[in-house]
Amino acid sequence: MLDVAEDIAMKSADFRPWFEQLPRLSRGQAEQVRQGLGETPPPTQTVQWLEHFHEPRCPSCEGEHCYRWGHQAGLQRFRCRSCGRTFSALSGTPLARLRRKEHWLTFGESLRNGLTVRASAALCGVDKNTSFRWRHRFLTLPSTAKASHLPGIVEADETCFPHSCKGQRHLDRPPRRRGKQIHTRGTGKDQVPVWVVRDRSGATADFKLDATDSEALEPPLRAVMAQDAILCSDGGAVYRAVASKLGVAHRPVNLAAGIRVIAGVYHIQNVNAYDSRLKLWMQRFHGVATKYLENYLGWRRWLERWGERNSPIIALQAALGRENHFQPLTQT
């Protein structure tokens, strides 16, 4: 029997070169080797969180009658009895098909701390390109999560960011020297206007617009402002026109004359303070590409919303669109 076992086993001369090739295996190939040996790696902490919060509902037909259908990339898959499609906790989300899930909670920590792409990559032990890809996948849904109903006193103000083609090879303008700042005040072709509206409870909505007239500002304000809200702004003519179109009360403050508060309650100090925090926070990125600006605006709104209660798991929940269903758990 011993001779038969020795004949079946791999010869030492054959085993050595095979073993030396193991470091060259891809993640998928290494997974196949583990499955062939009958070994199932323990689920990572990220996978445990994903499966804990996941409700088996088909992303294709919204069917709730689903059953388990094996595993893929460490995640439990399900099959829908209605349409027959299979899915996992990541199907249909911005994080679908991303790898290295074991580092996602660490990356969520880097988002909470507002780290740069390179600092996040160093923290997670991944390439900077991976860090960049993760950042904008994680921010896809937070960039659209903004206040949809602003009642009471609503403050509005405009801030501008330099138009940036960062990362693009083909520019529609002459290139600027590295580090050159744009000192033009107000709006212009080199500036991107962002309108920020905020109520006294801290609910915030902002809009990156192509123009600074009432025709551009009126539709987004109509979508978020309550009919009985009171609009507070500076004395700009655009706000008077928008308030008239919306049919809401308008209380402008005359900053040029040094009048910052009217009747002890009408002012724009809340939204101005938010703009200042936003601008100061954005400086760490040394310029943000205009095409990604809304992602960073959503990132800042998310940080302001959670404050000290923020955590890596909330970052993961926000990236999956389940932030409102968050329930605290003990993280191990």
Same-domain status, 161 and 270: yes
Same-domain status, 72 and 201: no
Q: Which of 206, 199, 95, 212 is nearest to 146 (CA)?
A: 206
Which of 36-40, 230-234, 313-317, 319-323 has the weakest average pLDDT? Answer: 36-40
- Single-letter amino acid, residue 239: Y
Output phi, psi for 210, to 5 deg: -90, -15
Q: Which residues of 248-289 form beta strands (DSSP E)? A: 249-252
Is there a domain that residue 112 lies in?
no
- Checking if the pLDDT of 144 tops 50, the result is yes
Label residue 44 by pLDDT band (50, 70, 90): low
Domain tally, the chain: 2
**C-alpha distances in angstroms, 238 versus 158, 160, 218, 268?**
11, 16, 9, 16
Label residue 331 by pLDDT band (50, 70, 90): very low
Task: Supply angle C-alpha 78, 89, 56, rounded to 5.
Answer: 50
Could you tell me if 26 and 99 are in contact, meaning their C-beta atoms sit under 8 angstroms apart? Answer: no
Mean pLDDT over 164-182 rounds to: 72
Mean pLDDT over 266-292 rounds to: 94
Is there a domain that residue 312 lies in?
no
Same-domain status, 153 and 237: yes
Same-domain status, 161 and 300: yes
- In this prediction, residue 171 carries a pLDDT of 77
- In this prediction, residue 37 carries a pLDDT of 65
Is there a domain that residue 274 lies in?
yes
- In this prediction, residue 187 carries a pLDDT of 57
Domain end marker among 92, 117, 136: 92
Same-domain status, 271 and 160: yes
What's the CA gap between 331 and 18, in Å, rounded? 40
Label residue 193 by pLDDT band (50, 70, 90): very high
- Quick: pLDDT tens for 287-317: 899 999 999 999 999 999 999 889 888 999 8
Same-domain status, 88 and 152: no
- In this prediction, residue 13 carries a pLDDT of 75
Same-domain status, 207 and 82: no
- In this prediction, residue 326 carries a pLDDT of 43
Same-domain status, 80 and 190: no
Expressed as residue numbers, the domain containing 239 is: 147-165+185-307
Is there a domain that residue 88 lies in?
yes
Same-domain status, 277 and 201: yes
Q: Which of 66, 51, 86, 6 is nearest to 322 (CA)?
A: 51
Is there a domain that residue 136 lies in?
no
Same-domain status, 279 and 154: yes
Q: Count Cα neighbours of 186 within 13 Å in the Cβ-side half-sphere.
A: 3
Q: Which of 264, 207, 193 is nearest to 232 (CA)?
A: 264
- Checking if the pLDDT of 155 tops 70, the result is yes
Is there a domain that residue 103 lies in?
no
